[in-house]
A and B are shown apart, each in its own frame.
Chain A
Amino acid sequence: MSTKFSGIWIGEKDLTRDEEFLRDAQNEVQSPSIIEALGEREVAEQVGGNRRDFLKMMGFGLGAATMAAGCDIPVKRAIPYVVKPDEIVPGVANYYASSFVDGGDYCSILVKTREGRPIKIEGNNLSGVTKGGTSARAQASVLSLYDVNRIKHPTVDGEKVEWSDLDRSITSKLASARGIRVVTNTILSPTEKSAVAAFTAKYPSAKVVTYDPVSSAAMLEANEKSFGDRVIPNYHFDKATHIVSFNADFLGTWISPIEFAHDYAQGRKIKNVKGAKMSKHVQVESQMSMSGSNADNRILVKPSEQGAAIAYLYQQVMGTGSRSAGLNANAEKALKQLANQLKSSKGSSLIISGSNNAAEQEIVNALNVSLGNYGNTISFDSASLQRQGDEKELVDLVADIQAGRVDTVIFNNCNPVYEYSGIAGLKEAIEGVANKIGLSYTNDETTNTCNIIAPIHHNLESWGDAEPKRGHISLIQPTISPLFDTRQGGHSMLVWAGSTALDANAEQPYYDYLRSQWSGYHANSDFLSFQSFWDKALHDGVYHGNSGSLVDIASANVDATSAMGRITKPSGSDLEIQFTEPIAIGNGQYSNNPWLQEMPDPVSRCAWGNYLAVPVDFDGVRKFKGLNGLIDGDLVDVTVDGKTYRVPAIQQFGQMPGTVSIAIGYGRTAGGACATGIGVDVNESISLVDGRANYSSANVSLSNKKGEEEHYSAVQYHHTMGVTAPNAAGETINADETTLAPGYGNIFSGFQGSLTDRSIIRHSHVDDLEKSVEDLIHEREHHEGLNAETLYPYNEYVAEKYSQGHHWGMHVDLNACTGCGACTVSCMAENNIPVVGKKQVARHQEMAWLRIDRYYYGDVNNPNVVYQPMMCQHCDNAPCENVCPVNATNHSSEGLNQMTYNRCIGTRYCANNCPYKVRRFNWLDYTTGDLFPANQVKVNNEEVPFGADNLTRMVLNPDVTVRTRGVIEKCSFCVQRIQQGKLTAKTEKRGLNDFDVKTACQTACPTGAITFGDTNNKEGELAHKFESPLNMIVLEEINVRSSVRYTMKVHNRDESLEV
């Protein structure tokens, strides 16, 4: 029986027509009584509620309302500036170019500020690295500025001190220190590096220990050995026709995902239907990574087979051997085939690996050299500096401490105690050090061991710079005065070094220091005066300097044969585990950011916690079971190298049989209110092999089901539409319809309003594109035919209404969308969308206006994936509008489906009637503006509900209403931006241009997948995109006249690489 389905599916329940799921999919409200949310289950049962209680509550409510109405209107104050800063006009946003930097993560950004407070991050188009794109992490960084867990003042031994006292205390300790270590993540800032250099120069016993939370050290070592330059080269995914990634999640987390996603999309977008070309992407991995989900083919190998797979491909390309040691037969066949293709496309392929084994990376280098990729798809000009660390130095640090050679450690905003708990004795060693100085932002596992804490600024409060790639230098400028009594890390280092380069009495000492450091760049520029050079660099946020290559490829030392002996040997174990870095929270660095916690993982669609991905077993008929009979949300004991973790499981399509995987970065014990206790910490099981972190293990065992997770917070079955499933004969039929009309055969199919053939996704192979487009056009004609059978034909009655002025529309290119989630976080930030927490997510009550639906298609054993950003479609014939009893949702003359919160009475008819399931109801008081605290939700074990404090509220966008309990909300096409853009055009007395109005999701996208604009502007970019023959409308057949167009998903799957 075939394991391939022509349709798309969401998950196992969808494929098997799980009865509970189908029932849920029909109901608007999935969760039990609302009263349960008010307290714990027992309390809910007690308050049960009956008619009398209802009347009592009504009476109380009426009384309370009367009392409230009887009160005086409060006196409000209007407080002007004493001296108004020139650049601030209250009510008008200012944008400042800056950079998002966290360790090696980098994004060039524009910071939107209102009345002097940063509220939103946008991408910087002038950057040669991120090219205007952003990531979810960069988007969410503005919220961490207002983190209530921030350290607010310097402390010594837990006592609050003045900076001068702290400096005195530290310098006296440093003066008498035996051995000093500065432990840090990758430092991208040249200026901070020089500050650290000044420090090490002052104290000869000081050494810098650099490591990365997730290591790429083997790559650096391999490149140093092969090319003599300890850097990561410059990859050009846009130039590659064949991309082979060995377990490197380059679109999600690996090195520079924003940049890579942008370039990658260039090769994936379809420009012409005739003779369409796109790159071919093959991912070799065991678990479904985000990059793997975008790949055309995935070659499944166990984690321990990675080395063998790389070696085998090398041998096949070189023709030096046909033997593979322990590689599974399927992979062997596929890699052999792949090698032939690579050989015939020399100079245009690109091979990367996420391996942390230096020998394997050397073979990858040898592969790229022999395929002639250096100079074409890989170069050493503008080489990446985004990973510089090596955890071997941490190992050495532990040895030095244990040997008594170190008595003072400075932690530069890093958390090795949590991240490298796999290094034996690390925590104990650090605890035993006499002087531990934390340059810390919030309390964490490492800071908690420190006796002196010198709190640092947020990026948005700092001066600084960053050099993510050689010659690409960008500035960091403060957009708000420091909120607390903090000081920049580099500044502290210079003070402790007693540096004369720093004028401690200056108004902004570190600013002056930064400028002095930049005089060198000025010397190489065309600018006459430093000030004009500086102004330009600060305005642009970026400066492009000398980015020349230091490497001569011809003299590269790429001896793969010696490396062959040092690769990881396949284990032959029945079960292996892969540890993965989550897209949102990294290795815990971002885990205290609730926006990132609430953003579902693109592939597993889990929020708030890590889940053990277990493979799904297809029995050939209709049964899909997870490994060991596990199903979604089952608790299970997984034992890795003797350590047992109880984790919830999730059935993951595309997970290789005989392997499981789980995300790191969760289970923080001291990570702040939103991080602590969320998920399970597995970092202890990341063992060291040759001093390098090994993110997999072959020594794994898995128990049977041990229970069920209380709040199973995967959103993959939430807000489903057009559920399809195969019937007993293996044909795809519509599950809704079967449920609706059992035993009635086909009489309910194939006519207007029927539920069959719901058009949600269309996909095609790139080679069949012309035919698929014909089919699509045919199908759309069919839909149009169905839609024309109405008393009120659209073209006669409605179309004319929108023919003048503006008519807003959106285009989403599914071939460019990688599922990274930057748009969803951007939407949260722009539109004041509340965070609801794990429990509410489990109740299907997440509030995100924009969700990214993930559908599988193809082979159930190794499926392809398509991501579909789904937001309000602003239907011109909207079903939600007709059912609102109070007309709170209605249509504007510009084609917007308007939602008026102050008119909404919360019947939720609209949400029920929305075919796209994009309307969200405020079940509880998420924004904490309610009269009754019982209605407020605590996102995690916080002291006060999230956002109930004035600090967190500073992030709110003042142009968007904060919704209260009991109203519906949904995507507004960023109407506040539309209105702002229109106003700008009006005041300038000119027509509206494309650049006037861009939605938050559009500006956040690193690949340009989303285009927003005025469909009536025939010269606009949107009108151009609307003409693409690949376009389709989701659920076009139901005649709702959506304003959003999606493209057909085009893939380049190579059947010859399949078994």
Chain B
Amino acid sequence: MATNNICNREKMIVRLLKPFSFLALLFFTTTLLAQPSADAGKTIFRNYCASCHAKDMKTKSTGPALGGAQERWGDYPLEDLYGWIRNSPNMIYNVKHPRAIEVFEENARSVMTAFPNLTDDDIASILLYIDAQLAGPATAGGAAGPTQEVKKESNLSWLYWILFGVLGALALILTRTIGSLDRVVASKEGRTVAQQPLLKQVFSKRNVSFLIFALIVIGGYNTVSNAINLGRQQNYAPEQPIKFSHETHAGINEIDCQYCHDGARRSKHSVIPAANTCMNCHSAIKNGSEFGTAELTKIYASVGFDPTTDKYIENYEELERDDIKDIYTKWISDTYLADNSLTALDKKGKKTVDAQWEGIVNSLTNDQKKTIAGPIEWIRIHNLPDHVYFNHAQHVTVGEVECQTCHGKVEAMEVVKQHAPLSMGWCINCHRKTEVKFEDNEYYASYEAYHEQLSGGEKEKVTVEDIGGLECQKCHY
């Protein structure tokens, strides 16, 4: 009876251990995937930080140099730094953190954009990346950078390889233990089992089939995650028909986003401005600071404005290509002459005129659109699938969300790129965290229970999720 019990217990241990050795391996693999790393930090830095902070972490750009930030915050718990990175205005105005105010004053009282969707791991990755960048030789040029990074990464991952080795050895030992226990059980039951060589044990049918299974799972996971990313185009920054600089307009000249994108406050579309919106200013400002006449003339050619006479051309749509060419090449060459104080076009001038005219034709015409006159066909950057309903007015007017929250610091972008992944997970995360402007909008009065909970202190804030912001039919119908 007793023997039997022991037997059973041993059998049970064996049974329990068997899957564990493989679980250990599996666990190891997954941790390797999810750990904060400088590599991940590099991506995040590029997406969120690089527009303001210098990559070498030593020089000041729009934002201060980030090298040593962690040390500078050393007097405070790490959470404070995380909170600062995630939402600096909150730390300054609400928490009134002493270090936060110090940094605020140091940097001409300008706040950093909030990144509420950064996780702790994300921030850890950024900090790792900052350290890695800082540790690199300061004098190394751009070419050395990447190599340095690769080296740094391998430096970091050796730890994991050791871990892998240790766990692998553990698995081997466990396998052997299991084998021995198996034999003990067998002998107690009166069976004799020959000891298997280690190699045979490792490459047993069971292990090989598990390995195949694991490969399929990992392969499947990779396939699925890559498939999910299909059609997403974060950081998409196509070349536009006109080299329009948001940095010049929204950054340097501080034109409000909604001056041009006037749909954002009242429509589902933010609206790409019509060419006549450009003309509000550019009927007077006829030379660009960077490209001179090259880009602005494209707008004139699109709407049919003659910059020489300051008049819109009548029946512009019916003009022949050559007539249009005469009008705008005249303007381009006149400007060239004036700029260079010449009386006749030199060789370079002729080239400039030809190149600019060619630019106009290439920008304003394509396979579908044969005429110069007519709308400027911009390349659409932010594309949502057809089954997604998104309304700018809801976010801009009702939710009072800053444009930059989703579009990034467009005012610092010479060429606009897609800042956010525009994935469903990204939307959902924001809806989970964002607080609804509950107090000052009479509409929400019907949420009586929440109002009671808010005033009673049971609830700190009402998020978009609380009022159904995660439900399918808020965006899909």
Interface set of A (CB-CB < 8 Å, partner B): 69, 73, 75-84, 89-92, 803-806, 888, 890, 892-894, 896, 898-903, 959-962, 972, 975-976, 979, 982-983, 985-987, 989-992, 1016-1017
Given contacts A75-B238, A89-B266, A983-B393, contact A82 B473 (CB under 8 A): no
Q: Are A903 and B274 in contact (CB under 8 A)?
A: no
- Identify B231's interface contact among A73, A806, A1017, CB under 8 A: A73
Q: Closest residue of chain B to A887, judged by CB?
A: B472
Contact A81 B274 (CB under 8 A): yes
Q: Which 9 A-B pairs have the closest CB atoms?
A: A91-B267, A898-B473, A84-B274, A81-B274, A893-B468, A91-B268, A91-B269, A900-B472, A78-B380
Contact, CB under 8 Å: A975 / B477: yes
A81 to B374, CA, bound (A): 8
Name the CB-closest residue of A to B312: A83
Chain A residues near B441 (CB, 8 Å)?
Answer: 986, 989
Inter-chain CA distance A972–B471, complex, in Å, is 14
Q: Are A892 and B471 in contact (CB under 8 A)?
A: yes
Q: A804-B447, A900-B472 are in contact. Are A82 and B267 (CB under 8 A)?
A: no
Chain B window 128-170, contacts with chain A (Cβ cutoff 8 Å), 1 for yes, 0 for no: 0000000000000000000000000000000000000000000
Q: Give 12 A-B contacts (CB < 8 Å), ordered by A residue.
A: A73-B233, A82-B373, A84-B274, A89-B271, A91-B268, A92-B267, A805-B467, A893-B471, A982-B443, A983-B398, A989-B442, A991-B442
Q: Which residues of A contact B467 (CB under 8 A)?
A: 805, 893
Question: Number of B residues contacting the other chain (C-beta, 8 Å)?
Answer: 56
Q: How far is the CA of A1032 from the CA of B379 in the complex (A)?
A: 55
B449-473 interface code vs A (CB 8 A; 1 in, 0 out): 1100000000000000001100111
User: B residues engaging A (CB < 8 A)?
Assistant: 227, 230-231, 233, 238, 262-263, 266-269, 271-277, 302-303, 373-380, 383, 385-387, 389, 391, 393-394, 397-398, 440-443, 445-450, 467-468, 471-474, 476-477
B377 touches A77 (CB 8 A): yes
Cβ of B394 and Cβ of A976 under 8 Å apart? Answer: no
Do A69 and B230 touch across chains, with their CB atoms under 8 A apart?
yes
* Interface residue from A893, A990, A1017 paired with B442 (Cβ < 8 Å): A990
Asked if residues B448 and A804 are in contact (CB atoms below 8 Å), the reply is yes
Contact call A806/B446, Cβ cutoff below 8 A: yes
Among B276, B446, B468, contact of A992 (Cβ-Cβ < 8 Å): B446
Contacts of A77 in B (CB 8 A): 377-380
- CB nearest neighbor in B for A983: B394
A92-B263, A893-B467, A990-B443 known, 14 other contacts, Cβ within 8 Å: A76-B380, A78-B380, A80-B272, A80-B376, A82-B374, A89-B271, A90-B267, A91-B267, A804-B446, A804-B449, A888-B472, A901-B387, A903-B476, A1017-B446
In the bound complex, residues from chain B placing their C-beta under 8 Å from that of A83 are 274-276, 303
Q: Tell me the bound Cα distance from A806 to B447 in angstroms.
A: 8
Q: Which of A73, A89, A901, A972 has its CB near the most chain B CB atoms (within 10 A)?
A: A89
Q: How far is the CA of A69 from the CA of B473 in the complex (A)?
A: 27
Nearest CB of chain A from residue B187's CB, rounded to whole Å: 49
A898 touches B471 (CB 8 A): yes
Q: Give how many A-B residue pairs fall within 8 Å (CB-CB).
A: 155
Q: Dominant SS at the B interface? A: loop
**A76 contacts which chain B residues (CB < 8 A)?**
379-380, 383
Given the interface pairs A90-B263, A983-B394, the reply to whether A976 lies near B389 with Cβ below 8 Å is yes
The answer on a CB contact under 8 Å between B446 and A69 is: no
A-chain residues with CB within 8 Å of residue B268 when the two chains form the complex: 91-92, 959
Which residues of B sit under 8 angstroms from A92, Cβ to Cβ? Answer: 263, 266-268
CA–CA, A989 and B303, complex, Å: 39
Given known A77-B379, A80-B275, A804-B446, contact A987–B473 (CB-CB < 8 A) = no
Q: Which residue of A lies closest to B277 (CB)?
A: A84
B368 to chain A: closest residue by CB: A77
A903 with B472, Cβ < 8 A, contacts A78-B379, A805-B467, A991-B443 known: yes
Residues of chain B contacted by A902 (CB below 8 angstroms): 385, 387, 476
Give B349 Cβ to nearest chain A Cβ, in Å.
Answer: 30
Which chain B residues lie closer than 8 Å to A896 at the CB level?
Answer: 473
CB distance from A549 to the nearest CB of B (A): 49
- Smallest Cβ distance from A874 to chain B, in angstroms? 11
Residue of A81, A82, A804, A972 with highest tally of chain B CB at under 10 A: A82
The residue that B476 contacts in the complex, of A901, A982, A983, A987, with Cβ under 8 A, is: A901
Q: For B378, what are the chain A residues with a Cβ–Cβ distance below 8 Å?
A: 77-80
A896-B473, A959-B389, A972-B473 known; A1016 vs B376 contact (CB < 8 Å): no
CB contacts (< 8 Å) of A1017 on chain B: these are 446
A81 to B376, CA, bound (A): 8
Least CB separation from A806: chain B residue: B446
- CB pair A82 B472 closer than 8 Å: no
Which residue of B has the minimal Cβ distance to A80?
B272
Smallest CB gap from B468: residue in A: A893
Known: A901-B476, A961-B387. A80 touches B442 (CB 8 A): no
CB-CB under 8 A for A805 and B472, given A78-B379, A902-B387, A983-B391: no
A992 x B443 contact (CB < 8 A): yes
Contacting pair B443 A989 (CB below 8 A): yes
Determine the distance from Cα of A805 to Cα of B466 in the docked complex, in whole angstroms: 11
Q: Flag if B393 contacts A900 (CB, 8 Å).
A: no
- Shortest CB-to-CB span from A809 to chain B, Å, is 15
CB-CB under 8 A from A903, the residues of chain B are: 472, 476
**A888-B472 Cα distance, complex, nearest whole Å:** 8
Instruction: Tell me, in angstroms, the Cα distance from A649 to B412 when the chains sit together.
Output: 74
Q: Are B445's CB and A991's CB within 8 A?
A: yes
Closest chain-A Cβ to B382's Cβ sits at a distance in Å of 9
Contact (Cβ within 8 A) A987 B398: yes
Cβ B387 vs Cβ A82 within 8 A: no
List, in ascending order, chain A residues with CB within 8 A of B303's CB: 82-83
Quick one: given A893-B468, A991-B445, A1017-B446, are A962 and B386 in contact (CB under 8 Å)?
Answer: yes
Among A76, A987, A990, the one with the most B-chain Cβ atoms within 10 Å of its Cβ is A987
Shortest B470–chain A CB gap in Å is 10
Decide if A805 touches B274 in the complex (CB within 8 Å). Answer: no
B227 proximity list for chain A (CB < 8 A): 69
CB distance from A572 to the nearest CB of B (A): 61
- Which residues from chain A contact B273 at a C-beta distance below 8 Å? 80
| B450 and A804 form a contact (CB under 8 A) | yes
Docked Cα-Cα span, A213 to B387, in Å, equals 44
B443 in contact with A985 (CB, 8 Å): yes
Q: Please give the distance in Å from B376's CB to the nearest CB on chain A.
A: 7
Bound-state CA distance A892–B475 (Å) is 12
Q: Using Cβ atoms and an 8 Å threshold, which residues of chain A touch B230? A: 69
Write the chain A residue with the least CB distance to B424: A902
Distance in Å: Cβ of B169 to nearest Cβ of chain A? 40
Indicate whether A805 sits within 8 Å of B276 (C-beta atoms), given known contacts A77-B380, A989-B441.
Answer: no
**What CA separation (Å) do A107 and B380 show in the bound complex?**
42
A254 to chain B, nearest CB (A): 39
| Neighbouring A residues of B276 by C-beta, 8 Å | 81-84
**Among A78, A805, A959, A976, which residue has its beta carbon within 8 angstroms of that of B446?**
A805
> Is B393 in contact with A82, judged by CB distance below 8 angstroms?
no
Instruction: Say how far B277's CB is from chain A's closest CB, in angstroms.
Output: 7
Contact assessment for B446 and A961 in the assembled complex, using a CB-CB cutoff below 8 Å: no
Residue among A804, A805, A976 making CB contact with B477, cutoff 8 Å: A976
**Smallest Cβ distance from A402 to chain B, in angstroms?**
52
Contact B267 A989 (CB under 8 A): no
Chain B's closest residue to A69 (CB) is B230
Query: What residue in chain B is nearest A982 (Cβ atoms)?
Result: B443
Contacts of B263 in A (CB 8 A): 89-92
Chain A residues with CB under 8 Å of B398's CB are 983, 986-987
Chain B residues lying within 8 Å of A972, measured Cβ to Cβ, are 473, 477
- A961 to B387 CA separation, bound complex (whole angstroms): 5
Cα(A69)–Cα(B226), bound, Å: 10
Nearest residue (CB) in A for B262 is A89
Q: Which residues of A contact B277 (CB under 8 A)?
A: 84
What is the chain A residue whose CB lies nearest that of B391?
A: A983
| CB <8 Å contact, A90 and B269 | yes
Which residues from chain B contact A960 at a C-beta distance below 8 Å? 477
A975 near B473: Cβ-Cβ < 8 Å: yes
Partner of B468, one of A81, A892, A1016: A892
